[in-house]
Amino acid sequence: MPAVVVKPDRSDQVTALLGYAAERGIPVTPRAAGTNLCGGFAPTPESVALDLSGLNRVVEVDVEARRAVVEPGVINAALQEHLRPSGLCWSPDPASAAISTVGGNIAENAGGPSCIKHGVTFHHVLGLEVALAGGRLLRLDRDDEVDLLGLMIGSEGILGVVTQAVLSLRPLPRATWTALAAFDRIEEAALTVSAIVAEGLTPSALELCDQRQVQLCEAWKPSGYPVEADAILFAEVDGDPEAVAAAAPALESVLRRFDPGIRRCCGPARWRPPSASTWRPSPMRATATSIRCCSIGRPRPRPCSEPRARSRRPRSTSAGP
């Protein structure tokens, strides 16, 4: 437990607090939504917890430039809904998207099922406004000579506190093809992922769930998942209808080597894996130690949607705090 919790709603309040704390040697721990799946938020009894949920405005969306300016307390899923009427989305889709914030995603360099194709948070941030420990406000940009932006993303609030972010957006896919494969052994599911990669295929999402996770999610929200399987694997292809029609057969062929009876779903709407579609904190608490939830991701150094490569190899995590 921290000594005190401070909830600012303006960036100047953040800088004032950090300057005050620095002068007096008081530790400050930034806090986003607090899902803490990665253990990134751990305040000490003498510290100040800086709750950034009050900085929750979508400042600007430039549809033509495919760019959004947002504050760190904006919920990932709320941002996606805000962008949907414009036909755009922000690529990071961690399992905690329903409650995790953009600031938390940036702090943890969050990924999600789609990181195998679209990359992690690192690939979709154009610039940051950051409050440093002494109270100074710094602007970092993708085009800076020294890549301090890349250094800040994934630093878990140690190097500074994000007060505003410029995000790179992409068009929503016009079509999707999703398959669910079930396995008698979880090792076979892992081998299937290796086979997909070995074939040179790039799905838009891969998600592996073990039996305990599937049973828990099915009990919470019945969806017809095969609870008797030792593991299941979701695989998805998205994009233009022509591209999906061309890519889906190759992916289906690999999946059928291990599970001839795969289930398929296609259309404009995504069939989300249980970790994303039914994620809630309450039913997880009692049995969380028995669950393995894996994001099978091979982040590309330069996703197709990114105009140029970045100089730093990204670190990937599956969720933000």
What single string gives the DSSP state of each residue in 52-69?
A: -TT---EEEEETTTTEEE
User: Distance (Å, rounded) from C-alpha 140 to C-alpha 127?
Assistant: 5
Mean predicted confidence (pLDDT) in 61-72: 98
User: Distance (Å, rounded) from C-alpha 50 to C-alpha 26?
Assistant: 12
Q: What is the pLDDT of residue 258?
A: 87
User: 248 is written with which tokens?
Assistant: 């889906």
| 61 or 286, higher pLDDT | 61
Give the residue among 166, 124, 69 at the shortest CA–CA distance from 310: 124
Q: What is the pLDDT of residue 40?
A: 66
Assess whether pLDDT exceeds 90 at residue 122.
yes
User: 244 is written with which tokens?
Assistant: 């999906």
Strand order in the sheet with 48-51: 4-6, 48-51, 28-31
What is the pTM for the complete model shown? 0.79
For the chain, domains (ranges, CATH) are: 51-171 (3.30.465.10), 175-295 (3.30.70.3450)
Exposure letters 70-86 (e unless 16+ CB within 10 A, then b): bbbbbbbebbbebbeee
Phi and psi, residue 140, nearest 5°: -115, 140
- For the stretch 259-310, pLDDT in tens is 888 887 755 444 344 444 333 332 323 333 333 334 444 444 444 443 333 4
CA distances, 181 to each of 227, 260, 269 (Å): 12, 8, 19
Q: Residue 294 half-sphere exposure, CB side, CA atoms within 13 Å?
A: 19
- For the stretch 145-178, pLDDT in tens is 999 999 999 998 899 999 999 999 999 999 999 9
Phi and psi, residue 130, nearest 5°: -125, 135
Q: Which residue type occupies 4? A: V
CB of 137 within 8 A of CB of 130? yes
> Helix, strand, coil shares of the chain as percentages rounded to 5?
30, 25, 45
Pick left, alpha or beta for residue 36 (phi over 0 → left; psi -120 to 50 → alpha; otherwise beta).
left
Three-state DSSP state, 123: helix
Q: What is the pLDDT of residue 305?
A: 41
Q: Which residues contact 245 (CB under 8 A, 6 or more apart)?
A: none
CB of 207 within 8 A of CB of 296? yes
Assess whether pLDDT exceeds 60 at residue 127.
yes
Q: What is the pLDDT of residue 302?
A: 42
Q: What is the pLDDT of residue 209?
A: 93
User: Distance (Å, rounded) from C-alpha 42 to C-alpha 320?
Assistant: 14
Instruction: Kindly provide the residue ranges of all beta strands, DSSP E only, lying in the chain, ordered along the sequence.
Output: 4-6, 28-31, 48-51, 58-62, 67-70, 88-89, 125-131, 137-141, 161-168, 170-171, 175-183, 205-210, 231-239, 263-267, 293-295
Q: What is the pLDDT of residue 264?
A: 76
Give burial (CB, 10 Å; 0-12/13-18/19+) of 87: exposed
